[in-house]
A and B are shown apart, each in its own frame.
Chain A
Amino acid sequence: DTGVSQDPRHKITKRGQNVTFRCDPISEHNRLYWYRQTLGQGPEFLTYFQNEAQLEKSRLLSDRFSAERPKGSFSTLEIQRTEQGDSAMYLCASSLTQTGGYGYTFGSGTRLTVV
């Protein structure tokens, strides 16, 4: 297991289209996080899972956004009816529950551009 993988690396979509991103965490990590990062800013928390349960969602996560983690393994983040304001880097990270104090392992992100 080489780390957290995200797919795709880049996505260009037209406004109004739906997009889905995938994240594969480190296999033994039971926590998975989604963050959004706009240009020149720090990552902002969107949501997190412990195993398959989605335990917290940020107010940033409008009803156009949905995330899943079936079977507690990989996760998907879907954005419906994309808007230009959704253009950002979407970062996935994972950790063991007990090691939040050791930080997270991040993936390389998916850069979304809505045109």
Chain B
Amino acid sequence: AQTVTQSQPEMSVQEAETVTLSCTYDTSESDYYLFWYKQPPSRQMILVIRQEAYKQQNATENRFSVNFQKAAKSFSLKISDSQLGDAAMYFCACIIQGAQKLVFGQGTRLTINP
């Protein structure tokens, strides 16, 4: 079974600056997917970005990008030009190809300072 660890319970950043959220995972499988989800105070979990393990190229979605280091089992999220609306809990998650469930980390609470 896979495990996901987020070692930063809280992070803060000034509006318009860049912040990086860390995530490490552990799995013995070679084919899996990694995700970052955002959970604003309104509670609905929203998919921010996904990465396929077999792809070396880091995924990018507008101001959000990842640094995927497969050998190190690291999957960090970079948010550029932070906006007030980025304030939320961010969860890193992993699912093994063909497996049945998404496994989440403990989350990082991101605060944006105006």
- Tell me the A residues contacting B by CB distance below 8 Å: 33, 40-45, 48, 55-56, 89, 91, 93, 100-104, 106-109, 111
Contacts and interface: CB of A to CB of B under 8 A. Distances in A.
Contacts, number: 65
B76 interface: no
Given A42-B107, A100-B99, A109-B43, 5 more contacts: A40-B106, A45-B102, A102-B50, A103-B95, A103-B102
Interface of B: 4, 6, 9, 33, 35, 37, 42-47, 50, 52, 91, 93, 95, 97-107
B106 A42 contact: yes
A107 B45 CA distance: 7
A48 B107 CA distance: 22
30 contacts: A40-B9, A42-B4, A42-B93, A42-B105, A42-B107, A43-B91, A43-B104, A44-B104, A45-B102, A45-B103, A48-B100, A48-B101, A56-B100, A89-B43, A100-B33, A100-B98, A100-B100, A101-B50, A101-B95, A102-B33, A103-B35, A103-B37, A103-B93, A103-B102, A106-B45, A108-B42, A108-B43, A108-B44, A109-B43, A111-B43
A93 B21 CA distance: 24
B97 A101 contact: yes
Contacts of B33: 100-103
Given A42-B91, A101-B33, A107 B47 contact: no
Nearest to A100: B95
B43 A103 contact: no
Contacts of A100: 33, 95, 97-100, 102
